Amino acid sequence: MAKIIFIEHSGATHEVEAKTGLSVMEAAVKNNIPGIDADCGGACACATCHVYVDAAWLDKTGKPSAMEESMLDFAENVESNSRLSCQIKVSDALNGLTVRLPESQH
Amino acid sequence: MTDDPGIEAAQTPDLSGRIVIVGAGHAGGSAAALLRQYGWTGRITLIGEEPLAPYQRPPLSKAWLKGEADGDSLALRPPSFYAEQSITLRLSTGVAGINTAARMVTLDSGEAVAWDHLILAVGAAARKLPVPGAELDGVLELRTAEDAEKLKNALGPGKRLAVIGGGYVGLEAAASARALGAEAVVIEREPRVLARVACEELSGFFQDYHTQKGVTFEVNAQVQGFVGASGKVSGVQLGDGRTLPCDVALVGIGALPHESLARLAGCACNHGIVVDEAARTSVSGIYAIGDCTQRPLPLYGLSGRLESVPNALEQAKQVAALLCGRPAPAPETPWFWSDQYDIKLQIAGIPHHAVRRILRGDPAQAKFAVFHLDADNRVQAVEAINAPAEFMAGRLLVGNRKPVAPEKLRDMSVSMKEVAA
C-alpha cells in the first residue's frame, strides 16, 4: 500500500491508500477523485488521466515511454512534469506521492 | 415546459431528488459516481441485471480474455465504493416496466421504485444469428463478464475457435485466442473484415497481421448453420457447402440497442433511444446514456449511435451536469480504440463527409495513420496504428475543423505538430 495525494485544480486535496501494482489512475478512479476521466481505462490511448507530478517525486516515478510522450505532446496544458497517471504504477517507493490535476482533461 | 425537472434543475438546482438509473454498466455506474462528485445529495439507486457491480467491458475481449486481468481490475470501483457514496446498488435485478405518469419503475419482483429523474443506461444486446444450430452449447456471444468466462473456459492450446463476424470484438477475440494457443478462423460476410467500421487500408492491414499470427479468414462467406454432437457445437456450415470444424464459436455481428423499456415509457426511439445533447429523451424527467442512445453528433450535423466507453462517459457527464445545474460539458470528438497483439489502434472522428484519404507512414512497419478529409481538406476522422501523435493531432483537428495541407500530412518529415499548427 502507498499513500497518494491528489490535489485538484481548485486546491481541494484528497489522500488515498492505493494497492501496490495498481496504476495511479486506477487509485484515483476507485476513490472517485474528480478530474481524472480515464476514458480508455488505462490503455495509454486517450490522455484523459493527465497529472503533474510533484517535483520531489519526479525521479521515483521515472520517465514516460515514447508512446506516452507522443500522447502527452498533444494533451492540453502540458508541463515538463506532466504524466499520464495510468502509466505510473503504485509501489512502496511511491508512498506519499503527490500529483496535481489540470483544470480539464479535454 | 416549466414542469421539466431537468430545466428547472439547470436554473435552481435542487440536488435532493430521487434518481433511479436503470443499467449498471459503464454508463450507469459512471453517471452515479459523477452525480455524487457534482454534489447530488438525494437518493441514487443503480439497478443492474447482471450480478456484478459496474465493470469495464473492453478488456473482456482483450487483457481479461488472455488472463492478464482479474475481476478486481475489471471493476470500475471497489465494492465498498457504493456504500461510501450512498449509492443503492440493486444487482441481479430486472426492470419490468416504467410508469411515466406515476414516476415509478417496476422491478421483476413487482416492487415499485419511485423516481424524480430516471436515467436509462440499458445498453445493447448482441445481435443473434438466426440459423439452425445457434442454440448449441459452445455457440457464444461476448457482451458480459459471464459470456467472457464461458469463452475463456473454452479456449486453450489446440482448441479451435470459429469467429462469425470480422468486427472489433471478433478480431480481438481471435488475437486473444492465438495468445492462448488456440486456433482461430474468422468468417466474414463482406469482402473484407471491419467493412462497416474501418477503411480498406486498415482492413487489409489487420487481415494481413492476423494471418501472420496464424488466424485464417473466410471472407464473402455465408454461415448456413452450426452442426453439433451431443448438443455441443462441432462445426460451422458455410454457404459453399463446407463445414469448418470448431470446438467453440463466437458470434460477433453487432449489437442492437435495448429500446423496449424506453418505448413503454413513451420515449421516442429510432435505432436507439433518441436523446438531445444533454441526454434528455422525448419524455420529461427521463434521460438515456450510452450504447442504447441515438444521439446528436454536433461535429457532423448528424445523429448516430456510438458504442464506446468515451461515449458512455460523455453522456454520463452530460446528464450529471444537467441535473446538478453545472455548465454543459463541451462536445467531445468521438473516439475508439482496440488492442490486438502488439497493435494499438486509435480512431478519432467519423468519416461521414470525407471525400479522400491520406496515408501517412508505412503499413509494412505497422506504424501508420489514415486521415479522412472533406472537400475543404478538414480532417473528418483519423485511424492510427501504433501512431499516437497522429491520433492525438488528428483528434484535435477533427474538433477544431482547421484545414490541413495534404502534402504535409503525407510527408513523415513534417511533424504532426507542424501539420496541426
Domain count, chain B: 3
Chains A, B: CB pairs < 8 Å: 60
Asked if B165 and B116 sit in the same domain, the reply is no
Asked if B281 and B205 sit in the same domain, the reply is no
Asked if B170 and B190 sit in the same domain, the reply is yes
Chain A 4-23, residues with CB within 8 Å of chain B CB atoms: none
Report the mean per-residue pLDDT for chain A: 92
Crossing angle, helix B200-212 and helix B168-179, to 10 degrees? 20
Contact A45 B36 (CB under 8 A): no
Write out chain A residues lying below 8 Å of B337, CB-based. 40, 43, 45-46
List Cβ neighbours of B299 (8 Å cut-off, separation of 6 or more).
Answer: B331, B333, B334, B349, B398, B399, B401
Whole-number Å distance between alpha carbons of A18 and B142: 31
Q: What is the CATH number of the domain that holds B362?
A: 3.30.390.30
Query: Does any domain span residue B65?
Result: yes
- What does the pLDDT look like over B73-98, one tens digit per residue? 789 998 899 999 999 999 999 999 99
Tell me how far CA of residue A16 lies from CA of A30, A99, B151, B233, in angstroms: 10, 12, 36, 49
Write out chain A residues lying below 8 Å of B33, CB-based. 32
Please give the radius of gyration of chain B, using alpha carbons only, rounded to the nearest integer.
Answer: 23
Query: Does any domain span residue B330?
Result: no
Contact B81 A32 (CB under 8 A): yes
Q: Using CB atoms, which residue from B37, B56, B81 is nearest to A41?
A: B56
Asked if B261 and B235 sit in the same domain, the reply is no
Asked if B74 and B109 sit in the same domain, the reply is yes
Query: Does any domain span residue B132?
Result: no
- In the chain, the amino acid numbered B350 is I
Alpha-carbon distance A55 to nearest alpha carbon in chain B (angstroms): 26
- What does the pLDDT look like over B31-82, one tens digit per residue? 999 999 999 999 999 999 999 999 999 999 988 898 888 777 789 998 899 9
Question: Which of these ranges, A3-7, B199-203, B256-260, B337-341, has the smallest mean pLDDT?
Answer: B337-341
Question: Would the ipTM clear 0.85, i.e. be above it?
Answer: yes
Q: Is the pLDDT of residue B2 over 50?
A: no
Whole-number Å distance between alpha carbons of B299 and B90: 37
Smallest Cα–Cα separation from B120: which of B18, B48, B36? B48
Residue ranges of chain B whose CB lies within 8 Å of a chain A CB: 33, 36-37, 56, 58-59, 73, 76-78, 81, 85, 309-310, 313, 329-330, 332, 335, 337, 339, 344, 346, 388-389, 392-393, 395-396, 416-417, 420
Alpha-carbon distance A75 to nearest alpha carbon in chain B (angstroms): 8
CATH for the stretch A2-100? 3.10.20.30
Contact B76 A29 (CB under 8 A): yes
Q: Is the pTM of this model over 0.90?
A: yes
Query: Does any domain span residue B36?
Result: yes
- What does the pLDDT look like over B241-289, one tens digit per residue? 999 999 999 999 999 999 999 999 999 999 999 999 999 999 999 999 9
Asked if B163 and B211 sit in the same domain, the reply is yes
Q: Which domain holds residue B209?
A: 139-251
